[in-house]
Amino acid sequence: MAVEEEHREGDAGWDRSGSGGWAIRDKLKGWQNWLPALLIVVAMVALWEWVVAANDIPHWKLPAPSSIGVELWTSRGMLLGHTWVTMEEVLIGLAVALVIGVLLAWLIALSRTLERVIYPSVIASQTIPIIVIAPLLLIWLGYGIQHKVIVVALISFFPIVVNTVDGLRSADPDVINLLRTLGANRWQVFRKVQVPASLPFLFSGIKIAVTVSVIGAVIGEWVGSSEGLGYLAIRSKSQFLSERVYATVVLLSLMGIGLFLIAGALERALLPWYHNERRRNAAGDE
């Protein structure tokens, strides 16, 4: 009897926890899903370490992961300083790209005439290699942060524009027709139907933009800079400091992954209805 009462109390406690219990279960399931990927990464790093040691590869040609880890620790002060510089360029450039990208997408969606004017220009901006534009920006703006911010914005704004335009056009036509029947004007339809429908698409564009923005910052630093991870990588390469070059690559990768995860977390926090619907659809498919 005592055992049964304990079980009943435990079940009742779990039931009272409600969504909290399910949240814990979902987190455990998420870790289980990621475990194979983590094991594969660990195995690849171990294989890299073994190949370098077994073949006695010089550190300047291919450093071992352990040597890169030592460099990350011993040079952490210098690396952190250059990381903050690159992060500043990325964040400012992303903010500029977000504002410009959303405004252009709204203009394209609101007017067919503006679409014919703006959309070809947006596409044309991506056909010019950024490595050609970056030196010109350096000549025009100098060695400050401006030319690097513009390079980041030029690379990042395109996925925001395209995805937001697709989202604005994905609004349910039946809902639009209903609002028009009730007397809603063009702006009201745009604000109440099209903008909410475009938000998931906007965040998809943002997640692409945050990853490529790191590339833009590095290109800007390669062209002309005295600080930043891109500058440090170029300087270290000429000195055959391969461990430091790989350390900058690791930090740039972590920066891109971290920004992507932050964008995903913001999407889940700001669009709970969208993710709840996706979970329900996934559960229905199973």
* pLDDT of residue 80 exceeding 90: yes
Q: Do residues 82 and 217 touch, judged by C-beta distance below 8 A?
A: no
Task: Report the pLDDT value the prediction gives residue 86, as an integer from 0 to 100.
Answer: 96
Q: Which residues of 18-43 are buried (b: 16+ CB within 10 A; e: fewer)?
A: eeeeeeeeeeeeeeeeeeeeeeeeee
Mean pLDDT of 105-133: 90
Domain boundaries, the chain: 4-21+24-51, 64-285
- Band (285; pLDDT cuts 50, 70, 90): low
* pLDDT of residue 25 exceeding 80: no
Task: Report the pLDDT value the prediction gives residue 284, as an integer from 0 to 100.
Answer: 60
User: pTM of the entire structure?
Assistant: 0.82
Average pLDDT, the chain: 86
List the CATH code of the domain at 64-285.
Answer: 1.10.3720.10
In terms of C-beta density within 10 A (0-12 exposed, 13-18 middle, 19 or more buried), how is residue 155 classed? buried
What percent of the chain is modeled with pLDDT above 90?
53
| Residue 51 neighbours by CB under 8 Å, 6+ apart | 57
The widest CA-to-CA distance across the chain, in whole angstroms, is 84
d(CA 34, CA 182): 49
How far, CA to CA in Å, does 272 sit from each of 79, 275, 276? 37, 5, 6
